[in-house]
Chain A
Amino acid sequence: MSQARKLLAIMAFAIVAGSTAPASATTLVRQSLENLVADNGVIVVGEVIGKHSYWNEGGTFILTDLTIETREVLKGKVAASEITVTIPGGTVGDLSTLIVDGAELAEGRSYVLFLDRKSFLGVKDVLTVDDHAQGVFEVVQDKGKGGLRAVSQASKTRLVPDVFGESAAPGKAEGLAFDKMKQSVREIAGRAQSPRQEVK
């Protein structure tokens, strides 16, 4: 009967999805947590609760506005509990535009986002993930130890080494302990004038 069950399962035609591991780096230079905190004006923990893709005003690129429900603000200020983050790429009708290894944000998931105000691809002064995959840490359950971890979307591949010769994203594949990461971000943000320290 076990064979019969196996065969029944086979005939269920479940399509095996490919790995959902996000990749990183088109050709990106490794950013330490110190760099990410220093170079981005707003750092939040939040959940993606909506998204809307559209052509920019000049009709030259598809962009996506993501609505983020912020849970915590680790650096900077946001005007409301819901913020809009604009990212290059998206789908409108039959056409998709994507940045190879751009930031990848899915509805219903929570992230630590390193955001900065930028003007790009025809939009002006919007919050965006300037560091692409490196600016997104997904908050996930730690199945081994319990608790939460923040895993960089750049963690699955190697980046151009930074000035310290380090090429792996902060936390590497296993990610950073979520609470510890938040504490580190706040500490780094709070000592703006002090010499930078490497936080891996």
Chain B
Amino acid sequence: MVRNRKLSRLAACALAASGLAVLAMPAHAYKMMYTGSTGRTMSYTPVVCDNNNGFMHWNARTINWYHNTSGQGAGKATPLQDAMTAWNNVSTSDFVLQYAGTTAAGFSTDGVNSLSWGTDSVCDSNACHAITALVVQSGQVIIESDILFNSNPTLNLQWVTSGPYDPCAEPDRTNNRVDVQGVATHEFGHSIGLGHPLSSEPSFSTATMGAVSCHSDARTLESDDIAGLECMENRYPYSPSYEGYFEQATCQTISGWAWNANRPNAPSFIELLSDGALVDVLPADLHRSDLQAAGKGNGYHAFSFGGFGDGQWHSISIRHTGSGNNISWSPKNLVCNAKMFSGMPDQVIDTMGQVYTVGTQFSSSVAGKIKELYFFKPKGETGSNTIRLYTNGGTQLASVTIPSTSCVTSPGSIWPGQWCGAAITPVNISASTMYRVTVNTNTKQSKTNCGIGMGITSGSLTAHSGYWIAGDTFPTTSSCSNYFVDAVFDM
């Protein structure tokens, strides 16, 4: 469900029907870098922005880079700074890659983000132009990055700072010219936390993070690169000013809105948790005119999850990804698809041709809707069966005649039979109010003697008593027995 954005969009369409416009975000192919999953060792897995497990990111926004000017590192300050500028110039980003001076440090874990030309064998072959290392703490927080440019003298790579520099255009590699700025721009993207889009994706050939740095356009960022940077900012914002409300939790829609006032026209990311367990991460990026009218940026800050439920109560929380804090009015309790009975009858009664109507008196602890009616139809039961929903006083609220095709075989039942039921037009029921659900039986009847006993509670529903009567009419005789007539409830 919730991973399925289509459902979210469907739910959003429901909002649109109530006067709220919905627009989708543009598709991008950029990939972020996730690390830490079982079995991974040294590299990363490319993931999308709403990956449930997150991705590598910086908590800081100013990243100081130090330039080792030894060897071929001499005279490279300007192209390195220009490469930083390409990322710094993204107006929607807070990142500042700062040329902080020179250093003697190199490709090592020492707290210094270094740019160096070296001959270490980690990148000295003809296969390697440059390589980026990241040092990551728990939570996938990047705390250091180093970039090593290949300076192996036997390869004699010419690290040029102005054209011609495009080795793609000179496949014979006569001059071995490699562009410092293009390679550095690409590597800085990695250092921020961006991976490569997959080669099968459309933007690969043009994006700086996709097209390898032999392309002349590697010096400038494409929309896909910028979208990747914005993903980083939106998912892990620096010093966010969050606001949001968990407005609605029903079995059809979990919705509300959330934004980061410091990024008023960018989508904020939220996490959905159920009973403390993460279910999904997604951007709050649906448009609501009321949000826009209220000055919440461009108004693209609403979220809507598709419905879900397993019949049990759940505490649903929504929290901001950047802070881990719940949004306002979170959590909410939710129960969906609640049914009273999960067991099977322990006997089948032969009615000897007498029509009886049996049923269950029940209530819900919260208001909601009855959307389906069921009964356990024993083998040998013939004729038509109609399940009815009544008030406790006998006013019929809904009914459905069960076609045989709606029955589901119940494997393992000691009394062969089937759960049979059908959807009804949802009926609103009040909290803590008695109702009855009944079915007529013609030749056979399911039953567990005193099976309801003092009551059976499942989710929000409680079965209080069984009821029966001879004939096809509203049953009025109470019993502690369970006749396995059930209703499905949604909040």
Contacts and interface: CB of A to CB of B under 8 A. Distances in A.
A10 interface: yes
Interface stretch (B125-133, B237-245, B262-270, B283-291): B125-133
Nearest to B421: A1
A7 B335 CA distance: 12
A163 B187 contact: no
A105 B53 CA distance: 21
B199 A164 contact: no
A134 interface: yes
Interface residues of A, number: 78
Contacts of B47: 18-19
Given A96-B35, A158-B199, A103 B43 contact: yes
B309 A7 contact: yes
Contacts of A6: 1
A119 B129 CA distance: 18
Given A15-B53, A18-B48, A98-B35, A105 B41 contact: yes
A103 to B, nearest CB: 7
A17 B53 contact: yes
A104 B33 CA distance: 14
Interface string A104-127: 111111000000001111000000
A161 B214 contact: yes
A97 to B, nearest CB: 5
B212 interface: yes
Interface stretch (A59-67, A69-77, A179-187): A59-67
B297 interface: no
Interface stretch (B80-88, B166-174, B426-434): B166-174
Interface residues of B, number: 77
Given A18-B53, A120-B121, A88 B48 contact: no
Interface string B36-62: 110111111111100111000000000
B319 interface: no
Given A26-B190, A158-B199, A131 B127 contact: yes
Given A23-B44, A104-B42, A164-B171, A158 B110 contact: no
Nearest to B279: A13
A26 B128 contact: yes
Nearest to B189: A100
Contacts of A95: 109, 135-137
Interface stretch (A27-35, A143-151, A188-196): A27-35
Contact of B43 (A8, A13, A66, A100): A100
B16 interface: no
Contact of B127 (A16, A29, A100): A29
B129 A19 contact: no
A136 to B, nearest CB: 10
Contact of B172 (A119, A163, A167): A163
A134 B127 CA distance: 9
A27 B136 contact: no
A76 to B, nearest CB: 17
Contacts of B196: 23-25, 101, 156-157
B278 interface: yes
Given A15-B52, A94-B138, A104 B133 contact: no
Given A10-B1, A102-B43, A163-B171, A29 B52 contact: no
B337 interface: yes
A175 interface: no
Nearest to B198: A156
Contacts of A29: 126-129
A22 B41 CA distance: 12
A18 B309 CA distance: 25
A10 B307 CA distance: 9
B14 interface: no
B300 to A, nearest CB: 24
A120 B123 CA distance: 9
Contacts of B408: 1
A20 interface: yes
A160 to B, nearest CB: 5
A119 B135 contact: no
A200 interface: no
Contacts of B127: 28-29, 31, 35, 39, 130-132, 134
Contact of A23 (B36, B43, B308): B43
Contacts of B42: 64, 87-90, 97-99, 102-105
Contacts of B213: 27, 160
Contacts of A80: none
Nearest to B197: A157
A8 to B, nearest CB: 5
Contacts of A163: 171-173
B179 to A, nearest CB: 10
A68 interface: no
Among all A-B residue pairs, the 9 with the closest Cβ atoms: A89-B42, A18-B47, A60-B108, A120-B121, A10-B1, A27-B129, A106-B39, A104-B43, A11-B310
Interface of A: 1, 4, 6-8, 10-11, 13, 15-29, 31, 35, 39, 51, 53, 58-62, 64, 66, 87-90, 94-109, 118-121, 128, 130-134, 156-165, 167-168, 173
12 contacts: A1-B408, A18-B46, A20-B45, A23-B44, A27-B183, A58-B108, A87-B41, A95-B135, A120-B120, A121-B122, A157-B197, A158-B212
